[in-house]
Amino acid sequence: MNMGMEVAYTEPDATRILIAEDSPTQRRIIKTVLGRAGYDVILAEDGIKAVSKAFYENPDLLILDIDMPRMNGYQVCRLLKDDYRTSHIPVILLTGRDQETDKFWGLKTGADRYVTKGFKLDGLADTVRELLAQTENEPRDAPQMETRADGGEQEIDVLTRVNDLLDRKLFEATIINEISKLNTISEDSSVTISSVLSVIAKVTDCYVGTVTLLDECEMIVHVHNPVGGTFFVEAKMRAMEAAVPYLPPGSSIKQIEVITDADPGFIEGENPECDAIRSIYTLPLNARGKNIAVMTLLSPRPDAFSEEIRRTMEIIENPACVVVDNARLHEGAMRLAITDGLTHLFNHRHFYELLEHEFQRTNRYMSRMALMMLDIDYFKKVNDGYGHQVGDEILKELAEIITGEVREVDVVARYGGEEFAILLPQTDTRQATAVADRIRRKVDERDFITPEGKIRITISVGVVSFPECAVENQVELVQLADAALYKAKETGRNKVIACGRTDEA
């Protein structure tokens, strides 16, 4: 046989191995080793021909040298692993490079094995056999390759594929960068998450995008195009249904709070183009081993979320998940910093910040505001007689009573111990006193159910308003409210005393 001719072994139905190696000697040696093991060997002397043959020969496994002319092994591996038609083919990098950095980069390009040429080539067949055994049960989507009219092999425009890969990687990197930059856009998680959905909507055919935060039972809805009222309502319901399998045990659709940034004009009336939801794509977002959210994209267009769009979503899933998770963790940390752990009301420090802000605003705009200080009567006897656990349950139930009797604009806080504070913007003394007495009566009439049985309690309330009570700052306002509360305690408890008034509620 003429040793200068590189003729492949051609056993019928043999496993096909493509070897890309620029050294004729190495090619012959590797071909001989694998041919003796019963493999059908295909040869390529550079990276360009390796890519071309990978497409029209459809081999079962590739062995690539790294240092080859025209296109090196790293580039060949990355190109083939990035194309869904060849990504299933196992790749062995067989090279003289033995540095850890080379191995790291080789595996990062998608290679399944990294083998240095210093090892005995007799072991190569075993490595091939082992890798093929591991991948034989994996699904394969082999491309249907065409041939020329004369029966010859179709030439693959490898450089075009390389350019397409570079364009796609640049596109993906740009999207990832745009999403990653949103990590610091806002302290409000809903604003951050809506911005993520906005970026995704720009690169997909998504009209409405949602992210349902599972532990928080919140759904952030971003509307990218005018869809009309019917489509908007249906989109929210379909997104909720998509999230149901991922909700924590005991949670339901009814508990999901919807937050949207929708332009009112986008969700009013009807849009003939959006007469039905024809495409929906759902993606669970996983962080630290658990599902934290579910992203759902909806479109009126059929087949809106093509295979290419789905591959793009797989690329941006991780950075999107990181931004969503960071947003919710940051907001959760902020919430913990300003919230009382027992009652889930604002704590003393944050309440004082809000009070200072409201006092300055009221003074600046010559408006009005009221402050209530509320305290449970003889609460020490409850703790001493029934235990602190019972006392804690009463504090939590009292917090619910108070929040149920005030407006959303009002601010309720646990001021300390059994004392609560309520800030009421745009409220005068008479109005605040009426609210305080309504709370007092609710408490007086309530049977607090505890493991120790029914318990009855009463409260005392001090009320002060500004500018009806002339004060210079919020500190003096708190002092007057405390004085009114002290007077209510001193004059019999279970009553409301307003600063500057002699009558009792």
SS3 23: coil
In angstroms, what CA-CA distances link 448 with 90, 258, 396, 493? 68, 33, 11, 19
Contacts of 395 (CB under 8 A, 6+ apart): 342, 343, 376, 414, 418
- Structure token pair of residue 415: 């001021």
- Cα angle 126-129-134, degrees, rounded to a multiple of 5: 125
Residue type, 289: G
The catalytic position among 21, 178, 358, 418 is: 418
Alpha-carbon gap, residue 294 to 346, rounded angstroms: 29
For residues 355-384, one letter each, b for 16 or more C-beta atoms within 10 angstroms of the residue's C-beta and e for the rest, the string is beebbeebbeeeebbbbbbbbbbebeebbe
- 371: β partners: 423, 464
Q: Check if the beta carbon of residue 239 is closer than 8 Å to that of residue 221.
A: yes
Which two structure tokens, joined as six digits, stand for 74? Answer: 């790293």
How many Å apart are CA 26 and CA 393, to the nearest integer? 79
Q: CA–CA separation, 309 vs 168, rounded Å?
A: 12
Establish whether the linkage from the previous residue to 467 is cis, with ω within 30° of 0.
Answer: yes
Cβ pair 72, 33 in contact under 8 A: no
Q: Which backbone phi and psi does 59 adopt, to 5 degrees?
A: -70, 165
Which residues neighbour 175 within 8 Å (Cβ) at sequence distance 6 or greater? Answer: 199, 203, 312, 315, 316
Contacts of 461 (CB under 8 A, 6+ apart): 372, 373, 374, 375, 436, 437, 439, 440, 485, 488, 495, 496, 497
Helix (H) or strand (E) holding 294: strand 290-299
Report how far residue 469's alpha carbon sits from residue 479's, in angstroms, rounded to the nearest whole number.
12
For residues 80 and 91, the answer to whether their CB atoms sit within 8 Å is: yes
Position 415, amino acid: Y
Compute and round to an integer the Cα radius of gyration of the chain.
35
- 418 among known catalytic residues: yes
Q: How far apart are the first and last CA of the chain?
A: 114
Backbone phi and psi for residue 399, each to the nearest 5 degrees, phi listed first: -60, -40
Rounded distance between C-alpha atoms, residue 293 and residue 298, angstroms: 16
Which of 309, 317, 311, 254 lies closest to 287, judged by CA? Answer: 317
Question: How many CB atoms within 10 Å of residue 56?
Answer: 15
Backbone angles phi, psi at 23, to 5 degrees: -85, 120
Q: So which residues are the catalytic ones? A: 418
